[in-house]
Copies of this chain bind each other. A is one copy, B any other.
Amino acid sequence: MTCIVQKFGGTSVADVEHIKNVARRVKEEVDRGNQVAVIVSAMTGVTNELVKYCREMSHFHDAREYDVVVSTGEQVTIGLLTMALHDIEISARSWTGWQIPIMTDGAHSKARIENINIKKLKKCMADGQVAVIAGFQGLAPNNRIATLGRGGSDTSAVSLAAALKADRCDIYTDVDGVYTTDPSIVPTARKLDKITYEEMLEMASLGAKVLQTRSVEMAMKHNVRLQVRSSFSNESGTFVCSEEEIMEKEVISGIAYSRDEAKLTLVGVKDSPGVSATIFGLLADENINVDMIVQDVSENGEITNMTFTVTKADFGRTINILKDNHDKIGYINLITDENVVKVSVVGVGMRSHCGVALTMFQALAEKGINIQVISTSEIKISVLISEEYTELALRALHTAYNMDDKKT
């Protein structure tokens, strides 16, 4: 018997009417004769409100108590969705994280799932009952409620699909799939029928907010077939699967961008061993993640410039650390720039095609866009450019790689 895991995010369960719509989507799968487990998020806005209460209560709250509070959002949704299913005569019951249990580690508020005991679930599903499961939560080793961190419901769904050996894990959201790039900027962007795990991972971590990065990692590890699709339409969405499943590979699958970057340049640092270790050691000690790094080729072998990027959230702290350690690092000047964007082309086909980077550089040059920093991996090329060129660059690249939807 086919086993399907369905996951509905906050906008799909926004209110009573939306939850009734979700119940109908669940019924469709049941009517096809499938065994169904449904993972739901909290109703839109509910988690934010609960987090706000916690912040108002105390700046340094115990993460275990935070989890007790914020995990209630999903608990409300499972009860309501189960009622909606009963109302259209679908057998169903709700499951909190601790009832299954979904065991996590003890890292409260950002816990990781360690193990899911599917015995009771399986039995109920085999009896024809839809399992309605609270996402984003589990049970920590000390019998206390744990949450997985924001967006964790995707991870709940994929973990459960892996544990149940589900045939498919459908992630229902408010968009109808994964696009070649942001359709609100590039009107000719196309919905992808399929994308590999590796590509999706790059797209997700590069700012395409369709799926939580960790859930894609987990899907890849356990070979869970993911489908990203809309809860408001019946069209099929985008399948995220292994490379072997995709027959005709495009060279480039998508173009992602992230405005969450800030650039710092240390002018006139000594060009000697150990300098980078000093700089990035200081930042690592403060849990600041450095993304792109480039060191100028030294002209005289004595001093050089070091440029790197951090997230906008870490920008202020990074500046302070660099200033506080001016003597320790030794540099002449610090130049900073927040008005930058990282644009990346992603595709597994890149591995076997040359000239991919050249196409990118030419397309940007033709529009007069200056590239500030470049970084590459096996399946992506990222460039840092001035933020004002974001839309122009995305459109130029989309055309340069022949990705435009001809119908549009």
Contact = CB atoms under 8 A, between A and B. Distances in A.
Interface of A: 16, 19-20, 50, 53-54, 56-58, 61-62, 64-69, 71-72, 75-76, 78-80, 82-84, 86-87, 93-94, 96, 98-99, 143-145
Contact of A144 (B50, B54, B99): B99
B62 A16 contact: no
A394 B68 CA distance: 47
B64 A68 contact: no
A26 to B, nearest CB: 14
A78 B71 CA distance: 13
4 nearest CB pairs, A to B = A69-B79, A68-B79, A72-B72, A61-B83
Given A80-B69, A96-B68, A57 B19 contact: yes
A139 to B, nearest CB: 10
Contacts of A66: 79, 83
Given A64-B93, A94-B68, A98-B98, A58 B76 contact: no
Contacts of A61: 83, 86
A80 to B, nearest CB: 5
Contacts of A93: 64-65
Quick one: which of A72, A83, A144 has the most chain B CB within 10 A? A83
Given A16-B53, A56-B16, A94-B65, A75 B72 contact: yes
B143 A99 contact: yes
Contact of A76 (B53, B62, B143, B144): B53
Contacts of A65: 79-80, 82-83, 86, 93-94
A72 B16 CA distance: 17
A58 B80 CA distance: 9
Nearest to A144: B99
Contacts of A67: 79
A57 B83 contact: yes
User: Among the interface residues A64, A67, A72, which one has the most CB atoms of the partner chain B within 10 A?
Assistant: A72
A58 B72 contact: no
Contacts of A71: 75
Prevailing SS type, chain A contact patch: helix
A79 B82 CA distance: 26
B64 A76 contact: no
A78 B68 contact: yes
B54 A80 contact: yes
B50 A62 contact: no
A84 B58 contact: yes
B143 A57 contact: no
A357 to B, nearest CB: 51
A42 to B, nearest CB: 10
A15 B86 CA distance: 34
Contacts of A16: 53, 56-57
A81 to B, nearest CB: 9
A106 to B, nearest CB: 14
Nearest to A77: B69
Given A58-B86, A86-B58, A87-B58, A80 B53 contact: yes
Contacts of A50: 76
A86 B62 contact: yes
22 contacts: A16-B53, A16-B57, A20-B57, A53-B80, A54-B79, A54-B80, A58-B86, A61-B86, A62-B83, A65-B83, A65-B86, A65-B93, A67-B79, A68-B75, A68-B79, A69-B75, A69-B76, A69-B80, A72-B72, A72-B75, A75-B75, A98-B98
